[in-house]
Every structure is written in structure tokens, then in C-alpha cells.
Amino acid sequence: MQYHISGKMKNLKPSAIREIFKYAGDPAVISLAGGNPAPETLPAEDVRRLMNDALTQDPMTALLYNQSEGYSPLRQALRDYLGGGLVKESDDVIVLSGAQQCMDLACKVLCDEGDVVLCESPSFIGSLNCFRSHGVRLVGVPMEQDGIVIDELEKAIIQNRNARMLYLIPNFQNPTGITMSAEKRKAVYALAKRHGLVIVEDNPYGDLRFSGEDIPSIKALDDDGVVIYAGTFSKILSSGIRVGYMVVSKELMGKIVVAKQCADVHSSMPAQMLCHRFLTQRDVLAHIEKNKAVYAHKCNLMLDEMDASFPKEVTYTRPCGGLFIWATMPARIDSNEFATRLVRDSKVCVVPGSAFVVGDGALASSFRLNFSASSDEQIKKGIAACAALLKEMLG
Amino acid sequence: MQYHISGKMKNLKPSAIREIFKYAGDPAVISLAGGNPAPETLPAEDVRRLMNDALTQDPMTALLYNQSEGYSPLRQALRDYLGGGLVKESDDVIVLSGAQQCMDLACKVLCDEGDVVLCESPSFIGSLNCFRSHGVRLVGVPMEQDGIVIDELEKAIIQNRNARMLYLIPNFQNPTGITMSAEKRKAVYALAKRHGLVIVEDNPYGDLRFSGEDIPSIKALDDDGVVIYAGTFSKILSSGIRVGYMVVSKELMGKIVVAKQCADVHSSMPAQMLCHRFLTQRDVLAHIEKNKAVYAHKCNLMLDEMDASFPKEVTYTRPCGGLFIWATMPARIDSNEFATRLVRDSKVCVVPGSAFVVGDGALASSFRLNFSASSDEQIKKGIAACAALLKEMLG
């Protein structure tokens, strides 16, 4: 059979992270490549109990079809959890099959093929590939220590009149770990509003701040339906259950619901009922508070090991939360070669920076390190292997 | 905010079934409109136990990210369950978030905007809207008692050189209840193969045959990657868990997996682990055999009530399985008016035929009846209300 492959899918490659994930199945491999939460922070016993409760108390709600908008009690619990500062009167909440689906539905509803999506560069490959799969053109805007470069963003908006969305991860960005300052959030919001651009604010890691002060989300500034906000249970409850959500203006909600119907009818009911019970029957804030200590410890351990062993020519971010550190080698070192040699010779996985780049290869000498999913022992061994190879390649 | 809505989503309306579903939330309403399986056939206690086993025995597999292809043990169990006649050496199996996702991913991978998808007319609105949401043009091919009209199909293929897919529900079709004969399956396969057209064979109801002999699926004829096969756990285990699967040639699998990554990363792990345990630790064939008796009883009851009370000018199908009966009124009666008056005056829901029509409104005097989700009492009352209104409207 000779297949006709659509233009939008023809050149799309599998995500480098997903591919590296296959190596990670080898128990001998230390993976600093994934994006899993710290397994020890996930409340496995609570999940078992709450799921069992749901299937005992209300089995037919779990087993039969439900509304595309999501399980009503969960939608209400999310409104309560997120608060009126984030979910305004003019907003609605839809439950999704993971936050990734927010990118899929928003792009489908708002973008025609050939339209432009603006994003931070580097940015999360899963979202970038999702946008690419809709045939849009990605335009990357460079980052600095406190987030996206505003002048460059404005230039990009003006140069791309068919830009429909601006994709941002303001907290502990994937892959850089950078957090956008409050001033920049305001500036970005004002720019987007002025130019009629929808901001997609992806906030998977917001709950995982272990140092510094929380900064209000961009959605909190928004009374005019400019911002679509994506949240998830992946980092605080379970990434495997695939439950996320979108806060979106009531005006846009109708189209998003139609897109959701078309995609998968609705999200898995047992998982939705679990999330509802978790939000309403457990002390979620205390749970998150406890987890932060684990993340702080792991991040600090990794940074300490890097400080002690990495060559001085290698720089890296010092995140205040999230899962990732972004390391940058001298430009003469290619991160693909580094990552390939590292997994082949030392059985340690990292993600080469090229995976996250939008447009040209200017960031091809960086790589992403995950500190959440590994044990202390693995972090030490993994960083030691990175350091040894860095020294060798830097000569 | 003034939103730019994509061309493909601009004119798409919410599914009439989903909308009627909201009425069905009123406990006073008798819904013959939905597509839920018979609730009493779903093994609620087994689901609770198997889910609890999964979350006890292997919690971290349930809680963390997994592969986009699906939970490996479930993929193997599906190969074993479906057998080598359906899943050939050259095929692969991917787990999906319900069978609806098969339509979404196949259309995304195979169709550009403006391409044509051929389908039976009438056909399942959920799939039709999914295709529409990709900006493809639907071309309907009429049905007769033993399935799609072959001459008309050939004409449609020849007239639409940019037809990429042919969407079929060969067993107990939704909405008509019609089953395609073995001869027609062969003819359709030969036609599609000759013209390089991919067949998407949607088989949600195949396990629910309660009279007559099973007819081999079109996929069973296929050694050349012509057929994409969609199956689901929705009718035998649970529709709420949202687990389906696709059998697809290894050649096409790579692109489908990328599309799946982009859509939702992977399907909910607890639900996948439940399905794996259901297939490997329960006697699924005995379970299905028992269910068939329930479906036979409900269908026969509904047909008996219709035979006894419907005006002779109203005709209807006599399905050998599945969930639906398709009734056709004289052309002067509009099914939208019929369905609206029925729910308003008698609190009984059916789905007007217009929802399922592709292209023109030639089938606007038909409506779909679901016999699986209601009790005997509700079936009797619901059909009595239909009969009374039919008599009134036929004058």
C-alpha cells in the first residue's frame, strides 16, 4: 500500500524524549532524560483507596459515558482549588486527557495551517510537536534569565500578522527551569491583548516551587479571555492517569468542547473521579508542601554535584522549582554527540538541546537534566558520568 | 477578545447526541437516544477488583508516564484476543483513548484539508464530526439492506480523486443496525485496494451479535495495509474508561504513534491495566456470551412493541446485534420536529436522522432508537410514546 501522508504529518519525527524513554526501560540505565515526577511523592496508597471508593460508591458513573466537558464534581472542585483569581466569572473549566490535550485542542480551534504559533525558544518538545502536527509554523523568541525577551516578542508579533497563539511556560520552564518575572508577565499580557493574540499558559510545575515567592499566573491578570490556562494532576498526583484541565473563556469554551468530543469524547472517568476525591477528601496543600522538600533536596543535590565536578566552561540554570536544569556547553560541543556518547558509554540519558530548539540550531550545545525521577545515588552517578564526558570532550 | 477560529472548526456544531445527553440527565426522561451499553452487562465488581489489583501490585506503572504505543502487556493481550487472522505479522496494535481517537489520528495522518473521506450515509455522527474537524469533505454513499451500495461507492471513488479514506461500520451499523454481507466486504476491500484508498473499519459492536452468523471483518481479508481496524472496550467492559485500540500496518504505525504523542502522550494507565487484567484473568468469551442474551431480549422487546403499536407507514430495521434500530417515517414527517415534540411532550429522547446524514437531507424523516441502555419498562413506555406521537403526526 502506498500511503498518502498529510502535509502536516509528513515531516514530523517522534519526540526525542519519547525515543530516549525506550532506553530508560533498561534497568541498567540512569535516566536524567524523562519528565516524570519524583515517584516517592506520588500518593500510591491514596490513589488505590480513592479509586476503590469511586468504583464502590458510584460504579455506573465510572463505567458509562459522561459529558465531554468533564465530570461535573471535578470541574467544581477545580474551580474551588484554583480560586476566583484564576477562574473568573467569565471563564469555564474543561477536564482534559492530560495538559498536552490543551495544546492539541487550542491549536485546532484557533489555528489554520500556515498560521504562526509564537513560543519561547527553547521550549517543551511535546507541545512544539503538537503544534507542528497541526501544520502551523513555529516562531521562537529567545529567553533570558527572567523569561522571554520582550522586545524580541514584540518584533515577532509585528513580523507575523498571522500569529494566533503565544505558548508560554512561565514557571520553571521546560527545558530551561527559568521563571518569568511578574513584570514580564504583565508586559507579555499587555502585548498579547493589544495585538489580539491568545496566550496559552502552560503551568505543569507551578505547584512545585521550592524556593522564592510564588508569582501570580498570567491568567490571573486576564479579564478579557486573552489567556488559555493549562493545568495538570501529573506532577502532584500521577502522570500515568492522564488528567489535566483547561481554564478558558466561556466564549471560546463551546468550540473547545466540540474539539474535545471529536478527539476522545471525554476523559477516563475512573481517573476523573479519583482526581475529584483527591481534591475534596485529601489535604492537597499539605501534600504539595511535603513534596516540595523532596524536590528541593534533589535539585540541590544535583546542583552541588555539578558545582563540584563540571568544567567551568559549562554553565547551567539554578531553578526555584520544577523538574529541570538546563546546562550549556561551549558552542564547539554538539549536544547530540554528547548525549549519544553518554548513553552508549556510561548508560546515562540526558536530552540534547536540539530537541527543544525552535527554528535554527543556535542552542545545539545545551542539554536538559531531570532531577526529580532519580534517586540520590543515581543523581550522583549520573552527574559524575556527565562530568567525566564533558572533561573528555572539552579536552 | 475577538477570536480567530480556524476554518475547519468554524462551522462545526456540537454533536446532537451529546446535546440530547444533557436532557438525559433528567431522571424523568426516558432516553432512547444514547449509545451506552446495557449497564447490567458491565462487570462493575470485576472492574473494582482488577483495578485494585493493578494499583496494589504495580502502582508505579499506573502512576508514571508510559509509552505512547500503550501498555505493552495490554498490546500483547490484544494480539492474543484478536488473533492472527485479524492482526497479521505485518500489523501493529496501538492502545487509544477510546475508538473515537482512531478516527482522529487516522484522519490527521492521512488527510489534508479539502481531501475527501467517503462514508456510509447515514453514519455515526461522532466520527463524521471528527472528520469534519480536520477540514476534510465528507462524501456519503447510500446504504441498502446488506450494506453500502457498491456501484455508488465505485462512482464516488472515481469522482473524488482526492478521497483518502473510506469509513465503514460493517457490523450492526450506527445508526441503522445494518450488517454488511461477506460478499460486499470482499467487493469493498478489492475496490479500496485497487484505488489506493485506506479503509477505516470501525467495529465497536462486533462482539454483540445475538442472531445469525459472525461475518469475518474486512481487516481479516487484508495483507496489504489497506485496512485500519478500530476496536473498543466500551461495549463489553466500560465506555467510561475510554480505552480503544487500532490495528494498523507496521508501515503506518510510526506516524500514528507520533500523532498519538501529540494528542495525549498515552492513554490512562489504570484503565489500560484494567483492560489487560480483564483480557487475561477473566473468561471474556463467556462474559460476552452472557451479555448477548441481554441484548437479544431488549432488541426483541423493542421490536415487538414497535410491531404492535407503530403505524404501518413507519418502517424499521431488524438488527442482528449492536445497540440501535433505525426507523423511517413517511417523507412528509420531519424527524427534528418529531424528536423535539417527543422530548417536550412525553419526555422521551430519540436522535433525529438529520444528525447522521452526510450531505443532503434525504434521510431527514428517519430516527435512531437505542435499546441497550433502558429497562424493559422504559422501552415499553418509550415506544408507546413514539407510537402515540407518530399516530398524531401521521394524522
Rounded Cα distance, B134 and A25, in Å: 35
Nearest to A324 by CA among A218, A171, A212: A171
Whether the pLDDT of residue A54 is over 70: the answer is yes
- Residue A67 confidence (pLDDT): 93
Residues of A in contact with B261 (CB under 8 A): 14-15, 18, 126, 129
Give pLDDT, residue B14.
67
- In this complex, which of A60, A240, A266 lies closest to B62 when CB atoms are compared? A240
Find, in chain A, the residue whose alpha carbon is nearest to that of B257. A14
Mean pLDDT of chain B: 95
Whether A77 contacts A50, CB under 8 Å: no
Return the residue of A nearest to B270 by Cα. Answer: A241
**CB-CB under 8 Å, B63 with A239:** yes
Mean pLDDT of B373-388: 98
What's the whole-number mean pLDDT along residues B212-231? 97
> Does residue A23 have a pLDDT over 80?
no
Is residue A194 scored above 60 in pLDDT? yes
| The C-alpha cell that represents B305 in the structure block | 412493541
- Mean pLDDT along residues B141-165: 97
Whether B362 shows a pLDDT value over 90: the answer reads no
Predicted confidence (pLDDT) per residue in B37-91, tens digit: 999 999 999 999 999 999 999 999 999 999 999 999 999 999 999 999 999 999 9
Kindly report the number of other CB atoms within 10 A of residue B144's CB atom.
11
Q: Which residue has the higher pLDDT, A31 or B24?
A: A31
List pLDDT tens digits, range B92-137.
999 999 999 999 999 999 999 999 999 999 999 999 999 999 999 9
Say which residues have a Cβ less than 8 Å from residue B198's Cβ, sequence separation at least 6.
A1, A3, B106, B110, B164, B165, B166, B192, B226, B227, B228
Q: How many residues does chain A have?
A: 395
Q: Between chains, do B126 and A265 touch, taking CB under 8 Å as contact?
A: yes
Helices and strands per DSSP (H, E), number in chain B: 14, 14
Of B236, B329, B253, B244, residue with least CA distance to B288: B236
Phi, psi at residue B146, to the nearest 5°? -105, 25
Nearest to B245 by CA among A109, B237, B47: B237
Distance between CA B75 and CA B73 in Å, rounded?
5
Considering only CB atoms, which chain A residues are within 8 Å of B239? 63-65
Contact assessment for residue B128 and residue B119, using Cβ atoms and an 8 Å cutoff: yes
Quickly count helices (H) and strands (E) in chain A: 14, 14
Nearest CA in chain B to A243: B268
Q: Give the span between the Cα atoms of A30 and A302, in whole angstroms.
A: 14
In this model, does residue A178 exceed pLDDT 90? yes
CB contact under 8 A, B9 and A259: yes
Per-residue CA distances from A59 to A44, A71, A188, A339, B180 (Å): 21, 14, 46, 47, 35
* DSSP string computed for B176-199: T-----HHHHHHHHHHHHHHTPEE
The residue of chain B nearest to residue A198, with distances taken between CA atoms, is B3
Q: How far is A297 from chain B (nearest CA, A)?
A: 21
Contacts of B252 in chain A (CB under 8 A): 3
Cell of A318: 539554578
pLDDT of residue A116: 98
Distance in angstroms (rounded) separating the CA atoms of residues B152 and B330: 24
Distance CA B118, CA B32 (A): 28
Q: How many CB pairs under 8 A join A and B?
A: 287
Tell me the pLDDT band of A363, cut-offs 50, 70 and 90: low
Would you tell me the crossing angle of helices B250-264 and B100-110 to the nearest 10 degrees? 110
Q: Would the CB atoms of B241 and A108 count as touching at under 8 Å? A: no
- Cell numbers 514584540 correspond to A154
CB contact at 8 A, B328 and B314:
yes
Which of A1-15, A196-210, A228-242, B291-305 bottoms out in mean pLDDT, i.e. has the lowest?
A1-15
Q: Which residues, 6+ apart, have CB-to-CB distance to B277 below 8 Å? A: B50, B53, B54
Chain B, nearest residue to A115 by Cα: B6
CB atoms within 10 A of CB A140: 22
Arithmetic mean of pLDDT, B249-255: 97
Q: What's residue A360's pLDDT?
A: 62
**pLDDT of amino acid B358:** 87
pLDDT (0 to 100) of residue B158: 97
ipTM (interface pTM): 0.96
Q: Which of A14, A263, A271 sits opposite B270 (nearest CB)?
A: A271
Alpha helices per DSSP H over A44-116: 44-57, 59-63, 72-82, 100-110
pLDDT tens-digit series, residues A199-255: 999 999 999 999 999 999 999 999 999 999 999 999 999 999 999 999 999 999 999
Kindly indicate the confidence band of residue B26, based on its pLDDT and cuts at 50, 70 and 90. confident
C-alpha grid cell for residue B386? Answer: 413514539
**Cβ neighbours of residue B395 closer than 8 Å, sequence gap 6 or more:** none
Coil, strand or helix: which one is A229?
strand
Please give the torsion angle defined by the CA atoms of residues A122, A124, A126 and A132, in that order, rounded to the nearest 10 degrees.
-40
Question: Cβ–Cβ of A59/B47 closer than 8 Å?
Answer: yes
In angstroms, what is the C-alpha Rg of chain A? Answer: 21
Instruction: Please give the full DSSP string across B29-50, using - where no structure is assigned.
Output: -EE-S--PPPGGGS-HHHHHHH
Mapped onto helix, strand or coil, the DSSP state of residue A86 is coil
> Which of A7, A18, A97 is closest, CB to CB, to B112?
A7
Q: Could you give phi then psi for residue B245, rounded to 5 degrees?
A: -155, 165
Short-list B88, B131, B97, CA closest to B227: B88
- pLDDT at A382 > cutoff 90: yes
Q: Is B174 exposed, middle or buried (0-12, 13-18, 19+ CB in 10 A)?
A: buried
Which are the contacts of B139, defined by CB distance < 8 A and separation ≥ 6? B116, B117, B118, B119, B156, B160, B163, B358, B359
Report residue A365 as a C-alpha cell: 550545545
- With beta carbons less than 8 A apart as the criterion, state whether A93 and A75 touch: yes
- Is there a contact between B104 and A264 if contact means CB atoms under 8 Å apart? yes
Q: What is the DSSP letter of B207?
A: G
**Could you tell me how far CA A386 lies from the centroid of its own chain?**
24
Predicted confidence at residue A13, as pLDDT, reads: 73
* Alpha helices for chain B (secondary structure H): 7-10, 16-23, 44-57, 59-63, 72-82, 100-110, 125-132, 150-159, 182-195, 250-264, 269-281, 284-309, 335-346, 376-394
Q: What's the average model confidence in pLDDT over A345-365?
A: 84
Residue among B77, B326, B99, B304 nearest B206 (CA)? B99
Give just the sign of the alpha carbon dihedral B46, B47, B49, B51.
Answer: positive
Tell me: pLDDT of A361 over 60: no
Under an 8 A CB cutoff, do B257 and A52 touch? Answer: no
Q: What pLDDT does residue A27 have?
A: 83
The minimum CA-CA distance between B125 and chain A, rounded to whole Å, is: 10
The alpha carbon of B294 is separated from its chain's Cα centroid by a whole number of angstroms, namely 19
Mutation choice for B interface testing from A132, A174, A218, A262 by most B CBs within 10 A: A262
Q: How confident is the model at residue B16 (pLDDT cuts 50, 70, 90)?
A: low
Cell of B72: 505493552
Is residue A349 within 8 Å of residue A343, measured between CB atoms?
Answer: yes
Q: How far is A314 from chain B (nearest CA, A)?
A: 30
Q: Residue for cell digits 476496536?
A: B231
Long-range contacts of A391-395 (CB under 8 A, 24+ apart): A391/A311, A393/A329, A393/A333, A393/A337, A393/A338, A393/A341, A394/A311, A394/A313, A394/A314, A394/A329, A394/A330, A394/A333
**CA atoms of B100 and A263, how far apart (whole Å):** 7
Nearest CB to A164; choose among B4, B42, B66: B4
CA distance A162 to chain B (A): 10
How close does chain B come to A394, measured CA to CA in Å?
Answer: 35
Maximum separation of any 2 CA atoms in chain A, in Å: 65
Residue A354: predicted pLDDT: 87
B197 vs A contacts (CB less than 8 Å):
none
Measured between CA atoms, the residue of chain B closest to residue A124 is: B262
Q: What pTM was estimated for this model as a whole? A: 0.97
Work out whether strand B163-168 and strand A351-352 pair parallel, antiparallel, or are unpaired. Answer: unpaired
For chain B, which domains are there? 7-43+286-394 (3.90.1150.10), 44-281 (3.40.640.10)
Q: Which three cell numbers stand for residue A338?
A: 554528547
Locus of grid cell 465503514: B168
Average pLDDT over chain A reads 95
